[in-house]
């Protein structure tokens, strides 16, 4: 999900002049004098004034609100996600290492504004920061909930992720969690 949006944004940036008649920097200069400062207001203005399709107007509005920069800059998104929560970095790094060491090579961890999307060809898991740790969201189908695997809550806009495991220490990123991540990967990629 995040990987595909990132790809589409990059394609749009590379082809903006051909697709819209203006480069990204030209669009930023066109938007600036409007005084608009909300994504939806800019998006709607671009659609009505310039006849842009929703996806192009949305990319431009999002970039404008991101100081003219791509929204899917992984380093910037990661830094913003962990801003003020630097103490959670060792926990996240343990999860990242477990994913990279034990799951298929196509799996990627992609920071977004609100969580880290864990994706193969499709999103199958997520990591959301809390004050105490991480909520690892999983797509485990109709697996029953128990004391360890809970019903997902506050994980972002991922309707397929119905389960979660909360972890607060690096040692909790263990074989049990890795096995659940594998099951989630298989559940999503076998559809």
pLDDT digits (tens, 9 = 90+) for 110-152: 998 889 999 999 989 999 999 999 999 999 999 999 999 999 9
| Per-domain boundaries in the chain | 2-72, 76-189
Whether pLDDT at 62 is above 90: no
pLDDT at residue 5 greater than cutoff 90: no
| Model confidence pLDDT, tens digit, residues 90-109 | 999 999 999 999 999 999 99
User: Is the Cβ–Cβ distance between 135 and 161 less than 8 Å?
Assistant: no
Residue 155 has pLDDT above 90, yes or no: no
* Residue 1, pLDDT score: 59
Residue 124's nearest CA partner among 162, 77, 72, 170 is 162
């Amino acid at each position: 999900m995040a990987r595909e949006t990132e790809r589409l944004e990059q394609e749009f940036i590379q082809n903006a002049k051909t697709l819209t008649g203006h480069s990204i920097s030209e669009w930023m200069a066109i938007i600036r004098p409007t005084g608009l400062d909300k994504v939806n207001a800019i998006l709607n203005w671009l659609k009505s004034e310039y006849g842009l399709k929703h996806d192009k107007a949305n990319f431009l509005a999002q970039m404008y609100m991101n100081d003219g920069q791509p929204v899917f800059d992984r380093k910037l998104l990661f830094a913003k996600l962990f801003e003020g929560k630097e103490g959670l970095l060792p926990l996240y790094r343990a999860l990242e290492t477990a994913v990279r060491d034990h799951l298929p090579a196509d799996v990627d961890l992609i920071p977004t504004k609100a969580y880290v999307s864990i994706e193969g060809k499709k999103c199958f898991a997520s990591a959301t920061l809390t004050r105490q740790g991480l909520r690892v969201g999983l797509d485990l189908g109709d697996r029953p909930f128990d004391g360890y695997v809970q019903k997902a809550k506050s994980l972002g806009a991922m309707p397929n992720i119905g389960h979660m495991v909360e972890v607060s220490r690096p040692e909790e990123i263990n074989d049990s969690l890795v096995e659940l991540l594998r099951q989630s990967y298989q559940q999503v990629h076998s559809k």
